[in-house]
Amino acid sequence: MRHLLVMGVCGTGKSTVAKALSERLGAAFVEADAFHSTEAVARMASGLPLTDEHRWGWLDRIAEAAAAQPGGAVTACSALKQVYRTRLRATLRDMGIIFLHGSKTLLTERMAARSDHFMPISLLESQFADLEAPSGPGVLAIDVALPRDVVVGQACDFANAFSGTE
């Protein structure tokens, strides 16, 4: 399997979809949130967005963790800007992208319903401001207003086609 990135703004279900996809594919799952520094988590929890400088080492740690997985990995990471995806690709050269997107209203509702995450709703606006939607070959965009099983099914179909296992 090749590397797959499941990306999007907060509240799109990146972790849920990436974990389900990794289970279906029998691939390793890499959760980008696990690689944030304590300082970065505290900054976000206090309502302050991260800057590019805060993200460089984090992106490198994520890429190294995914690259260490034999046969590739499914990584859940916001990777909002093209430059972040380019940084990941410096290590993960052959990486497909599953771009999860949804309306601000839907994502605000989802974020309000969760109580176990450090990311406050107030940062959703800054995430949309930073978002540079990916496009082109090797990219699949999925609207998360669809039922979760449909989203995961579309992601799995893309992963199989991207990896050449169809």
The answer to whether residues 3 and 66 touch, using CB atoms and an 8 Å cutoff, is yes
What residue type is assigned to position 54 of the chain?
A: H
- Total number of domains in the chain: 1
> Could you tell me the CATH number of the domain that includes residue 69?
3.40.50.300
Instruction: Tokens for 66, please give them.
Output: 């995914």
Residue 92 sits in which domain range?
3-163
Q: What is the pLDDT of residue 5?
A: 98
* Rounded mean pLDDT, 98-114: 84
- Look at residue 42 in the predicted model and tell me its pLDDT: 87
How many other β-carbons are positioned within 10 Å of the β-carbon of residue 83?
13
Helix (H, G, I), strand (E, B) or coil at 139: strand
Pairing of strands 139-143, 95-101: parallel
- Distance from C-alpha of 96 to C-alpha of 21, rounded to nearest angstrom: 13
Name the DSSP class of 34.
G
Interval 24-83: pLDDT, tens? 999 999 999 899 888 988 888 788 878 889 899 999 999 999 999 998 899 999 999 999
